[in-house]
Structure 1
């Protein structure tokens, strides 16, 4: 058995997350209070998504769920509150937006919200929200016969990492005279304890109650783990340590940490920090 130690929902792609004690695990990812992981996204004038890769200060945009609004804070700025209720799909303005190779329809949030984000990030941009009529699926190359819906994530509905994997990396960083880093550098949705280091790579499925969560693709890493999520400032990149032992041949040598997962059995399971998770190895 593994133990679920952390649940983090990221309402806005590439902005700060919300640590939860419990949430609903759906086929499209984490959900709480009817709000889904990566339900919102920041885009440029052409509708292309912005991320911490180019704009590390996005880490400082901090969301908080309130009764009827998503409250946003950023250093030196007044709070912004966004209504949680979905707009009228027949009346609300929409944009064509792009997430990697996918183009889809999204709700366009208002000009006040666009101005707030433009000031917070330092470039002209807008906030958009996933449209209920839009459909986006994870790559069938990795999900096989399963249609796995996702919203504005990089590609998969759930990212999972093992606590021992970070311990292993931090041991190597310390031996190299570097500082240890927190798990939030890798921005997983779920963190599990009581696995061996990188054992998540070799799991056939995790049992969350009646739901089976299947790791399907190692998560290849970009520059974001170099960003200090508390300051929004890039620092030493842990990828130079990871590259010595975490290149994946099935991804042409890409440096990987964590596993992208999909739901293959069951749906809408309530999960909570501290619960035991069944582990079925793939061999």
Structure 2
């Protein structure tokens, strides 16, 4: 780390939204912080005939579905498909959806959206939107007394990574003769400058002074990694170089040796505040 005592200044290098779980993300200049993380992040999910959310783990071509948020709708584009417009203020029938071990209330987004996803992914699927009245909480084993809400994210409201962490991975990939990768593969919400490689591992809280007041985030759990970072976002084709490279130096004893990259975070303060790229914050260390 750059220090062992006190606070460290960090800077928001990038902000990302992933409106549809496991589809392509969007880099944005500013975001609204809400109870479940960032507004519109993982607000929609693609589900199978049983209502279970599907991801790039089994359908890597989901990486090719590119959302764009407009004032009144979300526009989805994919190779060989006409664009699909999904209204931001309209839902259809209430349904149940399952993400990992949680079955939650959601809303179906209609037959046109279902046909679009089914055609592109060659499987019978439907698009659903998370019910904002539903409270889905992160695992208290890691959040303690904090009741951290999340929508269709795997388990936590926010994911934090660092530019230095990606630079170190790319250094190792290059040394092994592999091409560099982008942060897009790791699907973070906040990307920070000002840290050593994977320095987010050692942070406790980060406070940003937003115009509406402080936004205070607590980093609670290392993010264990599956096969998704090995899916090339440009082609939707899975590989193995990223996972192989991470396995050489990112086994995390806190998760029984699982491969980790980035930290899951919860919101302690700052609902309805706005974060912007370039904003600086003060980060404290877990063992300062």
TM-score (norm 1): 0.94
Q: 1:272 aligned to 270, 276, 286, which one?
A: 276
- Contact between 2:178 and 2:241, CA under 8 Å: does it hold in 1? no
2:102, 2:29 → 1: CA distance? 32
**Pairing partner for 2:61 from 54, 57, 61:** 57
How far does residue 279 in structure 1 lie from its aligned partner after superposition? 1.0
Structure 1 residue 135 displacement after superposition: 1.4
Tell me if the contact between 1:98 and 1:104 (Cα under 8 Å) persists in the aligned partners.
yes
Number of aligned residue pairs: 275
Matched, 1:83 2:72: no
Corresponding residue of 1:11:
19
Pick the aligned partner of 2:38 from 30, 34, 54.
Answer: 30
User: What residue is the counterpart of 1:215 in the other structure?
Assistant: 219
Output the aligned Cα RMSD: 1.1
Correspondence 1:226-237 to 2 at 5 A: 226-237=230-241
Q: Does 1:200 align with 2:204?
A: no
Distance in 2, Cα, partners of 1:77 & 1:245: 40
Gaps of at least 5 residues in structure 2 are 1-8
Partner of 1:282: 286
What is the 5 A alignment of 1:42-121? 42-87=46-91, 92-121=92-121
Q: CA deviation at 1:177?
A: 1.4
Counterpart-to-counterpart distance in 1, 2:140 and 2:95: 26
For residues 86 and 113 of structure 1, the distance between their equivalents in structure 2, rounded to whole angstroms, comes to 13
Give deviations 1:45-64, integer Å, cap 9, x for gaps: 00111000111110111111
Offset of 1:131 from its aligned partner?
Answer: 1.1
Deviation at 1:19, TM superposition (A): 1.1
Which shows bigger deviation, 66-75 or 230-239? 230-239
What does the per-residue CA deviation read over 1:81-138, in whole Å, with 9 as the maximum and x for residues that have no partner?
0111044xxxx41221110000111101111110000011111100000112221000
Q: Is the 8 A contact 1:22 1:272 kept in 2?
A: yes
Distance 1:5 1:48 in 2: 34
**What's the TM-score once normalised by structure 2's chain length?**
0.93
Measure the CA separation in 1 of the matches of 2:71 and 2:282: 34
Residue 182 of structure 1 corresponds to which residue in structure 2? 182
Unaligned runs of 5+ in 1: none
Cα drift, residue 267 of structure 1: 2.3
